[in-house]
Chains A and B, each alone.
Chain A
Amino acid sequence: MKLDLSGLQSFPSPTMAEVGVGENDLFARPSFQLPACSDFDGFEKEAIQMVKPAKGTTTLAFVFKEGVIVAAESRTSMGGQIASQNANKIVEINSYLLGTIAGGAADCQFWHRNLGIKCRLHDLANKRRISVAGASKMLANILYSYRKMGLSIGTMIAGWDENGPGLYYVDSEGGRLKGTRFSVGSGSPYAYGVLDSGYRYDMTLEEAAELARRAIYHAAFRDGASGGVASVHFVGPDGSKKLSGDDVSELHYKYYPVGKTPFEQAMAEATEA
């Protein structure tokens, strides 16, 4: 059995010669039954490596003059298989904060819920709402302390506070970035292309929602791990609101309607005449 002993620290041995029967157990080196496989630590490392790059999703968020737009598609994949086409990747942390899910779904859902609890405790303790910067810093500090332990989270925290709209990118490596435009996931390069070229700070709400929808559609078109429903949310001074949810395949025919071939066109004209 191959064992990686690098994590084990040596425990100090007791100087007392005689120790009571019960206390003797306290000083005994901790031990537990290992699972019956040939390479236990290799399996753990493999599991971590499997999850690491697999942020199979497209999420995006950007700040503009009215507030923050947050959009995502809804496909979850397990390797090459589509597990679900209706996953919800935008979570309401509280009435004025939204979070996005990319990476391990369980990790994201759990830690967003945990963040919501901590935000609520902060509101109660300080008699005022936590800022977006504060909420994202809390999450970043927690994730930093768990770095290198196999968490896989690429999230954006978007919200509205006293300083106006706020958007932060937080990931499981412990990074935290303040910005105005972010996209996270395997489809993010595709989304960035559409988002960057169409972005203006002074868009109207409808233009911004359409830009987000279009960017998600294009990412879902090219990226196999993205698809399902493109949902668009908005966070403004009055809190968050879902603006739309459109099936990506239907969007495809809306943006690129099927036209008749010249032969079909000629046939149609001939029958009309």
Chain B
Amino acid sequence: MECVFGLVGDGFALVAADTSAVHSILVHKSNEDKVMILDSHKLLGASGEAGDRVQFTEYIQKNVHLYEFRNGIPLTTAAAANFTRGELATALRKNPYSVNILLAGYDKDIGPSLYYIDYISTLHKVDKGAFGYGSYFCLSMMDRHYHSGMSVEEAIKLVDQCIMEIRSRLVVAPPNFVIKIVDKDGAREYAWRESIKDTAEVSAA
């Protein structure tokens, strides 16, 4: 039921993820942020088992920060992706993590990049990728409408089309999504797409 998808555009990369925290038939939360800002210019969108997702992504984040503190220079996106894959691979035949990851980043000389990392440590550098039941709808839509060098507006339009498709066609579709973007100015939240607003959040804000 968890959907994470992303794509690379002209000078930026996007990751979108649903925001439902689900336990069998119950939705405990509809505003759980699953796209972690790994460092200034990297995004980590993750989907998977509850404990594994948070614990593994926080572990990667802390190690990425540690590298930067120790060496005075941040990891490149490729290096971070390979580190993540290595950690998943080492744990795979002992104590595996059930997490699927899309790692998006921007490097000064290379530009934007997106890495697809499976729960069994598959690693691919891709232009577009998706995980979860939503991927059945997103992947073909992205294949059809994606072209390299899309502008932010075109990319957001495609992301919205994917979200609409998931909402209308997936039987237990998540109501809310978060979209984050990374470009030369850094990694940041771009927008939320909410169809169910939690009353408490609205009043408390």
Which residues from chain A sit less than 8 Å from chain B, CB to CB?
62-63, 140-141, 143-144, 147, 169, 171, 173-177, 179-182, 188-189, 192, 199-202
Instruction: Name which residue of chain B comes closest to A176, CB basis.
Output: B54
> Contacts A144-B55, A175-B54 hold; do A180 and B28 have CB atoms under 8 A apart?
no
Complex CA–CA separation, A181 to B204 (angstroms) = 13
Instruction: Tell which of B29, B50, B52 touches A179, judged by Cβ atoms closer than 8 Å.
Output: B29
Name the residue among B28, B29, B204 with the largest chain A CB count within 10 angstroms: B28
**In the bound complex, how far is the Cα of B55 from the Cα of A181, in angstroms?**
23
A144 and B32 CA atoms in complex are apart in Å by 19
A175 touches B203 (CB 8 A): no
Give chain B interface residues in 130-165, CB to chain A under 8 Å.
none
Q: How large is the interface on B (under 10, 10 to 19, 20 to 34, 35 or more residues)?
A: 10 to 19
Partner of B28, one of A174, A179, A201: A179
A47 to B199, CA, bound (A): 41
List residues of chain A with CB within 8 A of the CB of B23: 171, 175
Known: A175-B54, A177-B28, A177-B32. A201 touches B199 (CB 8 A): yes
CB-CB under 8 A from B52, the residues of chain A are 174
Contact yes or no, A180 B204, CB < 8 A: yes
Min CB distance, B18 to chain A, in Å? 15
B110 at the interface (CB under 8 A from A): no
B50 near A200: Cβ-Cβ < 8 Å: no
Nearest chain A CB to B91's CB is how many angstroms away? 13
Kindly state whether residue B73 has any CB partner on chain A within 8 Å: no
Task: State in angstroms the CA–CA spacing of A192 and B25 once bound together.
Answer: 12
